[in-house]
Structure 1
Amino acid sequence: MALSVPEGYEPLDARSLPGYLARHPHLAARLGGRPEDWRVVEANDGNVNQVFRVHGPAGDVCVKQSLPYVRLVGESWPLALGRIHFEHLALREHGKHVGRRVPEVLHHDARLFLLVVECLTPHRILREGMTDGVRYPRFAAQVADYLARSLFFTSSLALTAEEKRAGVAAFSANTAMCRIMEDMVFTEPYQVHPRNRWTSPALDGLAAAVREDVPLKLAAFRLKHHYLNTTEALIHGDLHTGSIMVTQEDTRIIDQEFAFHGPMAFDVGSLLAHLLLSFFSQEGHATARAPREDSASWVLEVAEALWSSFHETFLHLWEAHGAGAGDPAVLLTRPGEREALRTERRAFLQRLWEQSVAYTGAEMLRRIFGLAHVLDLERIADPERRARCEERCVHLGRDLLVEPGRYRTVRDLTAAARNAVARTPRGQRA
C-alpha cells in the first residue's frame, strides 16, 4: 500500500548510511577512518524500528530510524514517524536523572526521524542472556535505581505543577505508540483478532476461555481505563527484558519510543511480567546436563530484589527530594505529623505495588495470545513443552489481573510462581 511520508524523508540502509554519517564530523570522528572502513550491521531484534550498528576503526555508533510502518508486520500496518522524536525527548529527560543507565544521545535528525546513540558494547540483550541461563548479579539493583529515579523525578512528587503539566504536554502527541499498547495489551488478546497468535492447537482451548472470561475482560477494561487516564510520571512505556542491555557489571535501558506520561505501575508491572515469563520458560530449556532449577530460582530472586530495592530507593528519594506539588509534605509540615507522612508514603507505594501486579498479569497474557511474543518461550522447540510453560503463565497472569489484592508482597507473587510449577511436575500439562 502507498505510505505517506513528509518531504525530505527517506529510509537509510546499509549502503547509504556511511555516507550520511560521514557528513556529520562528530560522528565520523567517533567512528574513525574512512566510510569505506566502516562496517554496518542491521539489528533485527526490534519490532517497530530499523536499527543499525556501525563499527569503525576508532569506535561504534548505533543508528535507529523510524519507518512509516511497524517493522515486524510491514507496510500493511502504517505508523507515524514521530516516535523517534519522543524517544529522543525521553532519553534526554530520563538521562538527567539516571545518568548512564540510558545510552548517550549523539545525534538527532528531525527530518529523517533518525537517532544516533552510543553503541553498547560488549552488552547483550538481557532476555537473550536469561534464555541461555546467564545470571547478572548487578542487574536488580541497577534497574531498580533506574526505575525509582526515572519515575520519581518526572512525577509531581518532585516537580512543580507547571513543570509536570509541561512534561505531560511534551509527550501528549505520542498517541500512535500509546494506541499500540492500548490495543495489544488491553483489548486484542480478549477478542478474536487477526493479529493474535498462540501455540496451536495446544492452547486453543485456553485462548477461547480467555475470550469468554467475563471477570477477566472486565479487569482488563478497568486496567485500560487506568492506563488511559493516569499521568503520574514519564514512563518508559515498554520496559521488559528485551529493552535492557547488560554485562556482568552494567545495565542500560534502551528503546524509549513508547515513552509518555502514564502510570508508574505500567513500567514496574511490565518488567515483573517478563521476569515471570523467563522463570516459567526455564524448564522448557532444561536438559539432563543443565536442569535449570538454579536459573529459575535466580530469576525469582531478581524479582524480589527488584521490588525491594525499588521500594527502598523510591522512599529515600521521596524523603530527600519530595518538594513537588503532589507531595503531601506540602501540608504535613509540623514535627508531630512526620509519622503520618511516612505512613502515607508507604501507602502510596503499596497502591503502586498492587497496580503493578495487575499490569504484570495483563502483560503476561498478551505475550501468550497477542501479536508480540517472547523468545524465552518461542525458543522452546517442542510445542507441547512450550505449551506447558505457557499454560502456567496464563493461569498466574489471569489471577494477577483479576485479583491483584491477593498479592500483598513481592514474595506472595514469587511464591505463587513457584507453586504453579510445583503443582504440575515435569512432563505434565497444567
Structure 2
Amino acid sequence: MAILEKKIYVGLTEETAIQLVKELAFFPIHAELTAKEIGDGNLNYVFRITDQEGGKSLIIKQALPYAKVVGESWPLTLKRSKIEADALIKHGEFVPLLVPKVYETDEDLAITIMEDLSHLKIARTGLIEGENYPKLARDIGEYIAKTLFYTSDFALHPFEKKRLVAAFSNPELCKITEDLVFTDPFFDIDTNDFEPELQSDVEAIWGNTALQIEAAKIKYSFLTEAEALLHGDLHTGSIFASEEETKVIDPEFAFYGPIGFDLGLFIANLVFQSIVRDGEQKEYILNQIEETWQVFYSVFSELWEKEGVDPFTKVSGYKESFLQKIFNDAVAFTGCELIRRTIGLSHVKDLDGIEDKEIRLAAKRKTLELGTSLILRKSDIQEIKGFISAIKEHTA
C-alpha cells in the first residue's frame, strides 16, 4: 500500500523516503534517486533526496514522537510538524526570500517537504570556523521585524490575531522553553549540565534571590504576552547562510509570545561569538549585534508608521515606548539564553568546542557573569550602545 494512503504515522527510512517522493511525483518516474538522513538535531529526521542525473534535490523533515537527546522516555507531540510548516508558510508571506519554500505537508505522517538548502552552511558552524556573513544581521533584523509586526495586533484585525493565537498554540514545546531556558538553570535541577570547576559559579546563581526574582518576571512575560508569532528558537543553528544569502529554518517552537524573545535569542548566539573571538573579529560580531537591532528598529518603525491599523499607532511617542519595551525584553532574554546554554541541558558548540579547558572555563565564566548582569540590569540598559558596552565590560 502507498505510504500516503495508510494515514498512520510510521518513521521514515531512506528507502521509504524515496518511495514517498515518487508517490508525490516530485521527480520523473524513472529517476535514479538517493536518500541520506542528515539530521543532527534532537527532535526530527531529516532526509535529503537527490536525483543523481537531473541534479534536483529536496528535503523531507519528519517529526519524531520523542526527543532524540533523551529518548522515548521524553515523548513529544507530532503536532509540532504542522506548526513548523504553517509557521514557515505564514512567515514566508512576509519574507519569502528568507525562509525555505514548502512544497508539501502531511499532518498524519508529521512531514514537511521543502527546499534543499545544502548550498548554504549552518550559520553557527560557519561562525565557529571563523567565517563572517555580511548580510546576516541585516537579513535577520528584517526577518524579525516583518514576521513579528505583520502577525501582531498592530497589523491584524483582532479576530484574525486571535485565530492565529489559537492555531499556533504550542504548549508542549513552550514547556521545554519554560523549563530549560527560564527555570532549570536557576535551580539545582538534575537536567543541568556543567563542568565541576564551575560549581561555585553555578551555586552563586542558584543562591541569588534577586536574580531568581528577575528570571521569574522574564518567564512570566514569556508565558503571558502573546504579542506576535515568534519563531521560538531563533539561534544561529536555525539559520543557513552564505555571503549572499540567509534562510531561517526550524520554527517548530513557533507560538504567540513577546517580540523581544526572538531578538534576544539571536543576539545571545552572536554574543557567544563575541566572547570567543578577539580583536577585529570580536568587533565585527559586536557590529553585527548592533546592526541587527538597528535594522529591526528601522524596519519595524517604518511598518508601524505606514501600515499600523491600531489607532494608537498614530499617537506620538507610543512607537518609541513600545520599541523600548521590546529592547529591554530582548536584553533580558539574551541574559537567560546565555546562562542556560552554559549550564543547562542544551549547550552550544561555540563554547563547548573550545579544546583548551582553561580557556573554555574562562569563556563560560564570562558568559555567566554577562548573563547575570543583563538580567539584573535589563531596565537600566536603555539603548544598543549601552548593551554593547555591557558585553565589552564582562568579556574583555
| Same fold (TM > 0.5) | yes
* Cα separation, partners in 2 of 1:190 and 1:52, compared to 1, 3 Å: same
Partner of 1:426: none
Q: Which amino acid aligns with 1:371?
A: L
Distance 1:409 1:206 in 2: 29
**Pairing of 1:334-349 with structure 2 (within 5 A):** 341-349=315-323
Q: Is the 8 A contact 2:33 2:50 kept in 1?
A: yes
Q: Is the 8 A contact 1:84 1:113 kept in 2?
A: yes
1:17 aligns with 2:1: no
Q: Is the 8 A contact 1:134 1:295 kept in 2?
A: no
Q: Is the 8 A contact 1:158 1:321 kept in 2?
A: yes
Partner of 2:50: 55
Q: Which amino acid aligns with 1:302?
A: Q
Deviation at residue 406 of structure 1 after TM alignment: 2.1
* Cα separation, partners in 2 of 1:402 and 1:354, compared to 1, 3 Å: same
1:328 aligns with 2:323: no
Q: Which amino acid aligns with 1:118?
A: E
Partner of 2:271: 276
Distance 2:35 2:208 in 1: 48
Partner of 1:3: none
- TM-score, structure 1 as length reference: 0.88
Partner of 2:184: 188
Partner of 1:310: 296
Q: Is the 8 A contact 2:98 2:247 kept in 1?
A: yes
Partner of 2:334: 360
Partner of 1:395: 369
1:152 aligns with 2:140: no
Partner of 1:83: 80
Describe the superposition over 1:292-348 as per-residue Cα deviations: whole angstroms up to 9, x where unpaired.
Answer: 422221111000001011101100011111114xx504xx5xxxxxxxx34211111
Describe the superposition over 1:78-100 as per-residue Cα deviations: whole angstroms up to 9, x where unpaired.
Answer: 11111001001111111111112
* Cα separation, partners in 2 of 1:41 and 1:281, compared to 1, 3 Å: farther
Deviation at residue 230 of structure 1 after TM alignment: 0.6
Deviation at residue 33 of structure 1 after TM alignment: 5.4
The runs of at least 4 aligned residues of structure 1 exceeding 3 Å deviation read: none
Partner of 2:124: 127
1:222 to 207, 217, 224: 217
Q: Is the 8 A contact 2:98 2:248 kept in 1?
A: yes
Deviation at residue 210 of structure 1 after TM alignment: 1.3
1:210 aligns with 2:205: yes
Partner of 1:382: 356
1:249 to 240, 244, 252: 244
> How many residue pairs were aligned?
389
Describe the superposition over 1:57-114 as per-residue Cα deviations: whole angstroms up to 9, x where unpaired.
Answer: 3311111111110122211211111100100111111111111211100110111111
Q: Which amino acid aligns with 2:322?
A: F
* Structure 2 unaligned regions, length at least 5: 1-5
1:129 is paired with a residue of what secondary structure? Answer: helix
Which shows bigger deviation, 150-159 or 398-407?
A: 398-407
Q: Which amino acid aligns with 2:16?
A: S
1:420 aligns with 2:391: no
Which shows bigger deviation, 148-157 or 406-415?
A: 406-415
Partner of 1:96: 93
Distance 1:58 1:414 in 2: 45
Partner of 2:284: 298
1:197 aligns with 2:193: yes
Partner of 2:324: 350
Q: Which amino acid aligns with 1:222?
A: K
Over the aligned positions, Cα root-mean-square deviation in angstroms equals 1.5
Q: Which amino acid aligns with 2:326?
A: L
1:110 aligns with 2:84: no
Percent identical across equivalent pairs?
35
1:233 aligns with 2:228: yes
Distance 2:204 2:335 in 1: 16
Q: Is the 8 A contact 1:50 1:71 kept in 2?
A: no
Distance 2:69 2:113 in 1: 21
